[in-house]
Structure 1
């Protein structure tokens, strides 16, 4: 029996057979549920057998019954992987056991000590707000039973000083557990927001604020998947700013950057919200038009060509204008993403060769407009 075999066995046990679960959050929930069930089974079996041997038949039976319930929870978790139901049942079972031990006292009135495990367990499984409600209700119930004289549910007698210290310490543990869960959730939210922000930045072109190539490729792939499911058409436009190098050489790179931003804003303002404008590279921009066939896409390209051609950039005393050459391609299932982009790019270069400031697609029939 090798050490690696033993380690794999232990991992399989504490993860309830779901070692390969990919979600980190789900793995944590399964780990907590499984580990707590196994630990509870171990100690409840020991305490239950000890109580039976000591003549405390009722307490021993209760301990063994709760051990069996935790065993069923563990088996259900292994079988289904449903950590949500398993975790909730664990909380309810442990609350019932703790409540029973509080009311009966347990061996030598040590039963209330089980309640100290509840704050951490409740907050971790139920979360910050639902956990606070559940724990607050449990705390009020315990305080009511211990402080109301002659409470019918209390079947033992506790020293008043013990009651005061127990309630105070339980409340303190609850506050500390709440504070820990609050900071954990707050840190998790900050990390999540930072992750989303970084992901957003990784999909944006820094200069123009447009989607970058990575984001565009993912969006095109989603449209291809949608086309396979619903047979919805989509098209792309490859747009290139004519004589852009001349603008940089004549007016400087700052003017060129401002022109790129202006063209980006103009294109974005003149397409629908469902459409996506991206900076493909240099002065090239790729535009995705979902639910748009070739004829409509060609018309949209002509409109964008006209709008950009009438847009001027103020640079010092000069009014700088540009034109666009656009290539249009509609997706067909026989095309890959690369082939689709290359097709639009080829039509854009045909527009360049035709004298620029024009639109080209398969509708041109060799007569470029």
Structure 2
């Protein structure tokens, strides 16, 4: 639009107006190009606001075409508030209107290249302030709406990735994290480990204390799990009373030691259920996550060793290493 108006002014031999419009046009395109190439919005937004404000002040000074130039100043409030935000935008508007008032009213218009009636100048300022107020209300409402949408989005994203009862990662989120870790170890040729654990005789807890007690234990257990693992480890509720741990940069020996540590500590904890308390034990299966085996196979191995731990009497850790040791001992 600025380029078209600049071209029109050029055709009508209004070279000063044409130069101002075309220079502003170059600034607008420059800001757009800078934003597209650098993805930084602060600098081009500032440049556009300065160019736009300067052009509007020039239109007030010169009158534009048939003294209609000042009518364009109404685009300042929405643009300033959108590009600069509420506080910075209002500051820019204040600076602009202060300079505009100075231009129009100083020494009865001595700074102007044209003439406006006092009535026109007053109505221009009043209407500009009204548009500023409405633009501010709109931008404020838009910001509120965006913040509400962002909060809802974060809430739904958390619900999609976390178990509602325990707050741990759910099965879907854990699979995403395992896939990311699998891609990493495929590049680095390191290993990670998986621990799949299950609460022993959990049905008896529900039968003795009720399903609400089961939920209480699951919640308390999840809190203990989070306090027992490293910062880089991930704990998820895999389903029911099953939990899956992802231990990055861990080999079978360190993973088995971590699983044993978890098992022993949990076995010593008194879980409070109202006025009562109870103890629980865990059976844990350990497997490696490596580039030589698929994710599904690695989880399947952990599940297989978990089943083996339950077969062997529960409250124990089982892995390919412990199975091999048991075979050697038996032989």
Q: Could you tell me the TM-score, scaled by structure 2's length?
A: 0.86
Tell me, yes or no, if structure 1 residue 342 matches structure 2 residue 300. Answer: yes
Alignment CA distance shift 1:95-1:228 (3 Å): farther
Q: Which runs of 5+ in 1 are unaligned?
A: 1-38
* Residue of structure 1 equivalent to 2:149: 191
Distance 1:316 1:103 in 2: 79
* Residue of structure 2 equivalent to 1:145: 103
Name the SS for the 1:206 alignment partner.
coil
Distance 1:293 1:92 in 2: 60
Distance 1:219 1:230 in 2: 16
The number of residue pairs the alignment matches comes to: 326
Alignment of 1:1-369 (within 5 A): 39-49=1-11, 51-52=12-13, 56-63=14-21, 65-66=22-23, 69=26, 73=30, 76=33, 80=37, 84=41, 89-149=47-107, 153-228=111-186, 230=188, 233-315=191-273, 319-367=277-325
**Structure 1 residue 66: Cα displacement:** 4.2
Alignment CA distance shift 1:231-1:132 (3 Å): farther
Name the SS for the 2:66 alignment partner.
helix
Distance 1:144 1:190 in 2: 41
More divergent stretch after superposition (347-356 vs 287-296) = 287-296
Distance 1:314 1:61 in 2: 80
* Residue of structure 2 equivalent to 1:14: none
Does the CA contact (< 8 Å) of 1:242 and 1:325 recur in 2? yes
Does the CA contact (< 8 Å) of 1:205 and 1:212 recur in 2? yes
Partner deviation per Cα, 1:50-88 (whole Å, 9 max, x = no partner) = x33xxx44334544x348637855994898596846655
**Structure 1 residue 336: Cα displacement:** 2.8
Distance 1:232 1:189 in 2: 42
Cα RMSD, aligned residues only:
2.9
Name the SS for the 1:343 alignment partner.
helix
Alignment CA distance shift 1:249-1:182 (3 Å): same
- State the structure with bigger RCO (CA 8 A, min sep 6), 1 or 2: 2
Distance 2:172 2:267 in 1: 28
Alignment CA distance shift 1:291-1:130 (3 Å): farther
More divergent stretch after superposition (268-277 vs 208-217) = 268-277
Name the SS for the 1:296 alignment partner.
helix
Alignment CA distance shift 1:178-1:349 (3 Å): same
Alignment CA distance shift 1:246-1:57 (3 Å): closer
**Structure 1 residue 282: Cα displacement:** 1.2
**Structure 1 residue 318: Cα displacement:** 5.5
Partner deviation per Cα, 1:136-179 (whole Å, 9 max, x = no partner) = 21111111222221676422222112111111211221121122
Distance 1:102 1:264 in 2: 67
Does the CA contact (< 8 Å) of 2:9 and 2:15 recur in 1? no
Q: Which runs of 5+ in 2 are unaligned?
A: none
Alignment CA distance shift 1:145-1:229 (3 Å): farther
Alignment CA distance shift 1:137-1:233 (3 Å): farther
